[in-house]
Amino acid sequence: MKIFHLSDLHIGLKLMNRDLREDQEYILHQIVEKAAEIQPDAVVIAGDIYDKAVPSAEAVEVFDHFIADLAAAVPEGTVMMISGNHDSAPRVNCFRNILSRQNLYMVGLPPQREDEYIEKVTLEDRFGKVNFYLLPFVKPSMVKMITGTDENGNNLSYSDTVRRLIGRENIDPLQRNVLVSHQFYLPAGKNPEDVERMDSEIRTVGNIDQVSGDILEAFDYGALGHIHKPMKVGKDCYRYCGTPLACSVSEAGQQKGIILAELGEKGTEVKISVLPLEPLRRIRVIRGSLKEVLDQGCGDYVSAVLTDRVDLDVIDMQDRMRHAFPNLLEIRRETERKAEYREETAAEEDLKDPFALCCSFFNDLDEEEKEILLDVIHTVQEVK
């Protein structure tokens, strides 16, 4: 069974206030062309269909044309998609039952009542059934009525929430099973800080949204969304496909593409290949002196980093840069920073002193408050 794995379309996205409609339509047309050529049995979109929860009319129009063209290109195929953290789950969920009769599954909401389960779509090929479990982006508060809370009545962690949701399913280990999910899955033994994240991604404080990658072990393939750079989660068969089009300067130079996953007989290795997508305009970071940068003029989206050590005529520079780069995103100056050693040493000493650190944090403490603070610090140090 051939599966096209896409995610994070972010239709309606603006890149530094530049409208990307033409670029997105260009890349979506490529996806349709490749689908017409390969004829996948299933096309899955693992969340973040739109860039905003309330998309513009133009964004909805782009998506509508894309789905209509995709359905026409693959008349025998099934299209499945879930909501991501950028999407409005109720909006994506609208007309869910009606659309499913047209082999189009748009699942915006996870199960929220005891009698509800993860949407399962079953397809068949010559090796038997393939079960697709469509799990939209989940916050613990959304599903606590069925997953429960911890011993103190607090919401479960993201990881425990997803684990319990999947644990409720009757997953047949003798059949092939695919999970379509939009979460931050973390390989076992890896720290969140080790995962390279793009500037266009929404991140939670303290990475509280991380989900243990071992949850995926119940599935033959994990079609994941949320991370914008292509990435494996432990095994080759658990993958983030990344965005089909770069969404930020931090994605400059990345090769974007569609993952083609081919499932054979149960127990055999999933064959995975990447079908490259070529953008209408690339995102480039060009670094050098003003002259060196101007010599590389092009129509791509460019972030220019000027390394000149002398003052430049700002007005003349901007005019010349915009003439050379009609799709210029930004101009940055790279300057040397010199710091006084004594000042750095003093700052380091202050950081080592708990009292000085607390005073700098609270600001404007009077003498009585400072005495109380010292007493607290001394008490803590004695306990240690």
C-alpha angle 16-19-23 in degrees, rounded to nearest 5 = 110
pLDDT of residue 195: 83
Mean pLDDT for the chain overall: 89
Predicted confidence (pLDDT) per residue in 213-271, tens digit: 999 999 999 999 999 999 999 899 999 999 999 999 999 999 999 999 999 999 999 99
Distance between CA atoms of 279 and 50, rounded to whole angstroms? 19
- Above 60 in pLDDT, residue 342? no
HEC per residue, 282-338? CEEEEEECHHHHHCCCCCCEEEEEECCCCCCCHHHHHHHHHHHCCCEEEEEECCCCC
Do residues 377 and 361 lie in contact, with contact meaning Cβ atoms separated by under 8 Å?
Answer: no
- Above 50 in pLDDT, residue 150? yes
Distance between CA atoms of 184 and 135, rounded to whole angstroms? 13
- Helix-, strand-, coil-residue percentages of the chain, each rounded to 5: 35, 25, 40
Identify which of 134, 81, 94, 80 has the alpha carbon closest to the alpha carbon of residue 111.
134
Distance between CA atoms of 2 and 352, rounded to whole angstroms? 59
- Above 80 in pLDDT, residue 372? no
Strand segments, DSSP code E, in 7-113 are: 14-15, 18-19, 42-46, 78-82, 104-107
Do residues 63 and 12 lie in contact, with contact meaning Cβ atoms separated by under 8 Å?
Answer: no
pLDDT of residue 384: 46
Distance between CA atoms of 202 and 200, rounded to whole angstroms? 7
Predicted confidence (pLDDT) per residue in 44-103, tens digit: 999 999 999 999 999 999 999 999 999 999 999 999 999 999 999 999 999 898 998 889
Distance between CA atoms of 105 and 293, rounded to whole angstroms? 48
**Which residue's entry shows tokens 């569609």?**
258
Q: Pick the range with the lowest mean pLDDT from 59-68, 118-127, 146-155.
A: 146-155
- Above 50 in pLDDT, residue 113? yes
